[in-house]
């Protein structure tokens, strides 16, 4: 799956070159007071007002929206004086209290981090020893010049462990598996003509044995003692 990136570049930004392209930075807003329906736009507006002190290239939120507010491959003020000159892009994740919205935001966040890393020629590896995607926490622990430790605490509060986050960065978000509690209705076609009602559950297709028996003109007998259903030709 791919996403549309809304480009709304802020005016009056510095246009400083990077020292080197080594990282894409994963952030989250760290703002527990801004978790409602307008959180994404609130964060963008706040950053626009305070861009002289702090800004990043991208924001994610509002159910999977991606908004680019600053150029990539230029210095951004997001992860301190040691990390900023080495960071191709820096991505912020707006908070939400809605678990269903978070799933959409998180999927877009993972996609964007991986896409930006690919664009920059960096490996999709989170907080590894070499170049790649780095959390703000990694910058704090390894390069210094900043004290923030996002985004792990927020992700964990929404059910995403550090291990899962790293795996999702590495592999991407897989397609959602059909909910075992909500089978999907479908149909099975026999001989390109006759249709049998069926359901898909756990990625498997199930049909009623009686439907097959009736369609093929077979007799269905259930043996209660052996717990076996048998099909016989009608003579």
Query: Rounded mean pLDDT of 4-32?
Result: 97
Residue 136 or 2, more confident? 136
Q: Which stretches does DSSP call E strand in the chain?
A: 5-7, 23-26, 58-61, 65-68, 87-93, 132-135, 184-190, 194-201, 204-207, 218-223, 228-233
Residue 83 has pLDDT above 80, yes or no: yes
Q: Would you state the pLDDT for residue 122?
A: 98
Q: Is domain 5-171 annotated with CATH 3.20.20.70? A: no
Residue 94's closest CA among 145, 126, 58, 122?
58
Q: Would you state the pLDDT for residue 178?
A: 38
What confidence tens digit (pLDDT) does each residue in 168-194 have? 999 999 754 334 455 777 766 666 567
Q: Tokens representing 95? A: 């908070």
Domain boundaries, the chain: 5-171, 184-233
Residue 43's closest CA among 33, 53, 52?
33
Q: Please report the DSSP string for 46-97 in residue order.
A: HHHHTTTT-B-SEEEETTTEEEE-S-SSS--BSSHHHHGGGEEEEEEE---S
Residue 211 has pLDDT above 80, yes or no: no
Query: Rounded mean pLDDT of 75-89?
Result: 98
- Confidence band of 53 (pLDDT split at 50, 70, 90): very high
Query: Rounded mean pLDDT of 157-163?
Result: 97
Query: Residue 69 in contact with residue 132, Cβ under 8 Å?
Result: no
184-190 sheet: strands from edge to edge: 184-190, 194-201, 204-207
Query: Residue 39 in contact with residue 95, Cβ under 8 Å?
Result: yes
Residue 31 has pLDDT above 70, yes or no: yes
- Confidence band of 220 (pLDDT split at 50, 70, 90): confident
Residue 146 or 188, more confident? 146
Radius of gyration of the chain (CA): 26
What confidence tens digit (pLDDT) does each residue in 104-136 have? 999 999 999 999 999 999 999 999 999 999 999
The mean predicted confidence, pLDDT, of the chain is 90
Query: Rounded mean pLDDT of 192-207?
Result: 71
Helix or strand run (H / E) with residue 115: helix 99-120
Query: Rounded mean pLDDT of 14-30?
Result: 98
Name the least confident of 26-30, 199-203, 206-210, 218-222: 199-203
Q: Tokens representing 131? A: 């170049």
User: Within 4-60, where are the H helices?
Assistant: 39-49
Q: Would you state the pLDDT for residue 180?
A: 42
The pTM of the full predicted model, rounded to 2 decimals, is 0.75
């Amino acid at each position: 799956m791919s996403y549309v990136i809304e480009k709304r570049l802020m005016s009056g930004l510095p246009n400083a070159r990077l020292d080197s392209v080594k990282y894409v930075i994963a952030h989250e807003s760290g703002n527990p007071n801004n978790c409602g329906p307008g959180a994404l736009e609130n964060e963008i507006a706040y950053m626009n007002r305070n861009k002289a002190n702090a800004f990043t290239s991208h924001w994610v939120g509002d159910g999977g929206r991606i908004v680019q507010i600053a150029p990539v491959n230029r210095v951004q003020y997001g992860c301190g004086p040691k990390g900023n000159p080495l960071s191709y892009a820096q991505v912020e994740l707006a908070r939400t209290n809605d678990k269903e919205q978070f799933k959409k935001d998180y999927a877009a966040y993972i996609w964007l981090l991986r896409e930006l890393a690919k664009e920059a020629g960096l490996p999709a590896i989170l907080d590894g020893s070499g170049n790649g995607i780095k959390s703000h926490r990694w910058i704090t622990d390894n390069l210094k010049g900043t004290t923030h430790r996002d985004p792990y605490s927020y992700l964990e509060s929404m059910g995403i462990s550090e291990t899962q986050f790293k795996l999702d960065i590495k592999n991407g978000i897989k397609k959602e598996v059909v909910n075992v509690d909500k089978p999907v209705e479908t149909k099975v076609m026999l001989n390109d003509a006759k249709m049998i009602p069926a359901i898909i559950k756990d990625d498997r297709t199930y049909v009623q044995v009686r439907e097959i028996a009736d369609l093929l003109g077979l007799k269905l007998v259930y043996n209660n003692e052996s717990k076996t259903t048998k099909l016989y030709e009608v003579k």
